[in-house]
Structure 1
Amino acid sequence: MLDKTIYKQIFKSSFNAPIDVEFWDGEKVSYGDGDAIATIILHEIIPIKDIMAHASLTFGEAYMDGKIEIQGDLQKLVSTIYSSQESFLNGSKFAKLIPKQSHSEKTSKADVQSHYDIGNDFYEMWLDPTMTYSCAYFADEKDSLEDAQWNKVRHILNKLHPQSGETLLDIGCGWGTLIFTAAKEYNLEATGVTLSQQQYDFVSEKIKAEGLEDRVHVYLKDYRELEQTYDHVTSVGMFEHVGKENLQEYFMQVSNRLVDNGTALIHGITGQHDGAGVDAWINKYIFPGGYIPNIAENINHIMHTGSLQVDDIEPLRRHYQRTLEMWTQNFHKVDEEVISAYGERFYRMWDLYLQACAASFESGNIDVVQYLLTKGPSGTKLPMTRSYIYHADVAHGVQ
């Protein structure tokens, strides 16, 4: 009885929209006014002490294991949880800090490979043909996911204001779309670095297949091992992986890899508010060692390099929400294939991850931000206004 009473208190304060809850003994309770956006079915008692210790981890595992079922709009349900200041995810009475994460070169490699080396076949099932696993850029409401990913890559490169023959380094290059585009469309000598064996093999084979050995290079190594300098540095969806304790070193490495007056475009998930940048469930199952810094943290680290300056900041929260919603649609189209290859628990884990992340962006709990930086006096090599970016976007089909 005590467990159910506390459950009811949690549900009463945790949602900003009407929901229905069906408890393990068959009792049904409605919360809020109007038609429920979803029904939560609790098949068994989940210990309150586990919820108090790590709410997101406990409920996430319960969903993966089928102890909890969600009927209705999962994304909207999670979004309402983030929107409620008294929810079990936001309320301080349910919060608990998780231990500091180790981010040596060895542990960073293990963390990256645990996520990205699931297998290229898995990501090919639901990513678009560009194999781009980061926030897209929807220049038009009607853009397909593939079009929006091409937009994103070109928008990033256009911000750098690159000149033919210059060099570019992409830290955390993924499956290489950005470096191939830099070489083929902007005539840059492009280098990528990754810790994922699967990504490295994919990019290496593509370089040979396209005969780009003299213009595109890829290395399987930690970004901290690099020594060469470049005219431009990009890094997309990377700083979320380095850990809170290594953010300063990360931005120092960006600076160290740039020539004087070089430009950098750093794109990553960023909090707009104070609060812990780690989610226990995502840290355990999706991104081991991950940490989401807020804007103030990143700006502080940029300032403390002593050399990098901020030229432009562009939030893309709605773009990532839309990207995740499209990934979720693609993922649902291959549900049987994923379950057959990896099991239902794995499928439920990834389904929850994609929809919960979309909800997090929808609610404004997190954002994704592009930081345009220069090494040296701000804008020395850039035009006086931002109009150059949009003129270049139009010239490259981003419109």
Structure 2
Amino acid sequence: MQLQRSSVGHTTRPSLATARQILSLLFGPPGQRAFHVRYWEGTLEGPAHPTPATLVFNSPASLRRMLLPPSDLALGEAYIFGDFDVEGNLEFVLAQAVSLGDRLLKPLVAARVLALLLALPGEARPTARPAFGDDSKAHTKERDAHAIRYHYDIGNDFYKLWLDERMVYSCAYFNTGQESLEEAQATKLDRICRKLRLQPGERMLDIGCGWGGLAIYAAQHYGVTVTGITLSPSQAEIARERAEAAGVDDRVIIEIRDYRDLPATIRYDKVASVGMFEHVGRAKMPQYFAQIYRLLKPGGLLLNHGIVKEIAPAFIHWGFGTVERYLNSRSFLQNYVFPDGELRRLSEVNLRAEQAGFEIRDAENMREHYALTLREWVRRLESHHAEVLARGLADEVTYRIWRLYMSGSAQSFAAARIGIVQTLMVKPFPGGEAGLPLNRTDIEGMPLEPAPQV
């Protein structure tokens, strides 16, 4: 059964009729769709039963701006600049959009949709993409600092609204899926410390330390001395304040420093890199792992926690990589969220680590955990929408960027297009010994609650 209402009555205006034809080609008849649609003049159509979301077109130009040229950049810009809205579950709507790829590679369907899109109004709309200059300079120290500060220096108060109490901006670990975000992040931090087998008195390096959550936790609960490095002054400020408030500022040192600038005179027992590796870049991977290898003592452990590519939609492989290269050149995330960010396959990451001398000891894919984490972040962000604007913590465009990128990322993790892997590596002793237990009971067999404070 089809639901169709209009505040102004039935209309046959060309743009409305054209928009409805396009949606029927892409998603089928209104009554069979998984979501509702509301058009700019008030018409509402969709199935008679409730759906998780309503897609709202705010002008006759909305669909054209969303789909031309076809890319996630066009779709993302159309959303953040208000050409369309999503009332309800944005992640659900994005999942429907992903399904369009294979359909639009059918020549007859694509030709028909294109002709209809070109019949819609096409008024120009300004963009607000950050200027990062010549791409040949990607992953220089200066460019990396610029990219990191673009993302993380929006404002600490903005992040405080939707992160957990420790402000951990990486994948949480849910033992049952019923835990609070705070509980799941505490479990994740403790799990990292156990995988690294931290011991009192050890020296630990936290690369990309964020707001200090892991560094402070490791010092409090495992008695280690931690050097945390970040390229974000805003993060460093909060991390130092929190270390002092926790009473561990004598064992937690926070520096604004590039990993490439760490002095070779200091050696660490353990290194954690959590949520930073995505910023390294493919060309810099050998240097990244070689630097960490130099900084570790023999028998030292590295826990590398980063997002990796997994299973791409079938249409991505069309045209011997032509589609993938085109979409990569028009990436919403690259333009508005993580400039210069690069995702590689786990096999490639591990190869570069092994070439530097590391032995891979353990790898855990936590993608389901990240989908849960992101959904909780989105829920919290959406609940604070009015406060974000009222307090001037971010403008509407920035709010929409974060809502879109986190909802889309949750869907990508759930669909196995990307994964998040914690890889434990060791720098073997000269004779090849790893110095690790024969089993993993010290990681998996301990109580789930955090370790007692040292």
The two structures have a TM-score, normalised by structure 1, of: 0.86
The reply to whether residue 118 of structure 1 matches residue 154 of structure 2 is yes
- Alignment equivalent of 1:327, drawn from 377, 380, 401: 377
State the distance in 2 between where 1:101 and 1:70 align.
37
The reply to whether residue 389 of structure 1 matches residue 443 of structure 2 is yes
State the Cα distance separating 1:27 from its structure 2 match.
Answer: 8.0
State the distance in 1 between where 2:56 and 2:206 align.
45
- Alignment equivalent of 1:270, drawn from 289, 293, 308: 308
SS of 2:386's equivalent?
A: helix
State the distance in 1 between where 2:364 and 2:344 align.
16
Distance 1:344 1:379, change over 3 A: farther
SS of 1:332's equivalent?
A: helix
Are the aligned partners of 1:18 and 1:34 in contact in 2 as well (CA < 8 Å)? no
The reply to whether residue 318 of structure 1 matches residue 368 of structure 2 is yes
The reply to whether residue 58 of structure 1 matches residue 65 of structure 2 is no
- Alignment equivalent of 1:245, drawn from 283, 303, 317: 283
Distance 1:27 1:101, change over 3 A: farther
Distance 1:395 1:144, change over 3 A: closer
SS of 1:86's equivalent?
A: helix
The reply to whether residue 11 of structure 1 matches residue 49 of structure 2 is no
Computing the radius of gyration over CA atoms, which structure comes out larger, 1 or 2?
2
State the distance in 1 between where 2:371 and 2:425 align.
25
State the Cα distance separating 1:395 from its structure 2 match.
Answer: 6.8
State the Cα distance separating 1:235 from its structure 2 match.
Answer: 0.6
State the distance in 2 between where 1:10 and 1:256 align.
57
- Alignment equivalent of 1:67, drawn from 83, 89, 93: 83
Are the aligned partners of 2:240 and 2:249 in contact in 1 as well (CA < 8 Å)? no
Q: 1:118-147: CA deviations, max 9, x gaps?
A: 111111111111111110001233211001
| Corresponding residue of 1:137 | 173
Q: CA RMSD in A?
A: 3.3
Distance 1:124 1:35, change over 3 A: closer
The reply to whether residue 289 of structure 1 matches residue 340 of structure 2 is yes
**Where does 1:93-242 land on structure 2 (aligned, <5 Å)?**
102-227=138-263, 228-242=266-280
SS of 1:126's equivalent?
A: coil
Are the aligned partners of 1:244 and 1:291 in contact in 2 as well (CA < 8 Å)? yes
Matched to 1:304, the amino acid is: Q
| Corresponding residue of 2:403 | 351
State the Cα distance separating 1:163 from its structure 2 match.
Answer: 2.0
State the distance in 2 between where 1:337 and 1:217 align.
33
Consecutive unaligned residues of structure 1, counting only runs of 5 or more, are: none
Matched to 1:163, the amino acid is: Q
The reply to whether residue 258 of structure 1 matches residue 285 of structure 2 is no
| Corresponding residue of 1:308 | 358
SS of 1:121's equivalent?
A: helix
- Alignment equivalent of 1:372, drawn from 424, 436, 447: 424
Distance 1:25 1:109, change over 3 A: same
Q: 1:41-89: CA deviations, max 9, x gaps?
A: 3323258698454511111111111111223421112124346661679
Matched to 1:258, the amino acid is: L
Matched to 1:166, the amino acid is: E
State the Cα distance separating 1:22 from its structure 2 match.
Answer: 5.5
| Corresponding residue of 1:361 | 413
SS of 2:444's equivalent?
A: helix
State the distance in 1 between where 2:449 and 2:380 align.
30
Are the aligned partners of 2:65 and 2:74 in contact in 1 as well (CA < 8 Å)? no
Distance 1:29 1:258, change over 3 A: same
Distance 1:110 1:6, change over 3 A: farther
Consecutive unaligned residues of structure 2, counting only runs of 5 or more, are: 1-13, 111-133, 317-323
State the distance in 2 between where 1:139 and 1:397 align.
16
Distance 1:376 1:206, change over 3 A: same
State the Cα distance separating 1:351 from its structure 2 match.
Answer: 1.4
Q: 1:171-230: CA deviations, max 9, x gaps?
A: 000111111111111111111000000111112233344443431111111011012220
Distance 1:37 1:394, change over 3 A: closer
Distance 1:36 1:201, change over 3 A: closer
Distance 1:304 1:113, change over 3 A: same
State the distance in 2 between where 1:56 and 1:88 align.
14
Are the aligned partners of 2:62 and 2:84 in contact in 1 as well (CA < 8 Å)? no
State the Cα distance separating 1:357 from its structure 2 match.
Answer: 1.4
- Aligned-residue sequence identity (percent) comes to 33
State the distance in 2 between where 1:266 and 1:356 align.
24
Are the aligned partners of 2:359 and 2:427 in contact in 1 as well (CA < 8 Å)? yes
State the Cα distance separating 1:245 from its structure 2 match.
Answer: 2.1
State the distance in 2 between where 1:381 and 1:394 align.
25
Matched to 2:85, the amino acid is: E
SS of 1:367's equivalent?
A: strand
Are the aligned partners of 1:56 and 1:281 in contact in 2 as well (CA < 8 Å)? yes
SS of 1:183's equivalent?
A: helix
State the distance in 2 between where 1:60 and 1:166 align.
46
The reply to whether residue 336 of structure 1 matches residue 386 of structure 2 is yes
State the Cα distance separating 1:296 from its structure 2 match.
Answer: 1.8
Are the aligned partners of 2:365 and 2:420 in contact in 1 as well (CA < 8 Å)? yes
State the Cα distance separating 1:304 from its structure 2 match.
Answer: 1.9
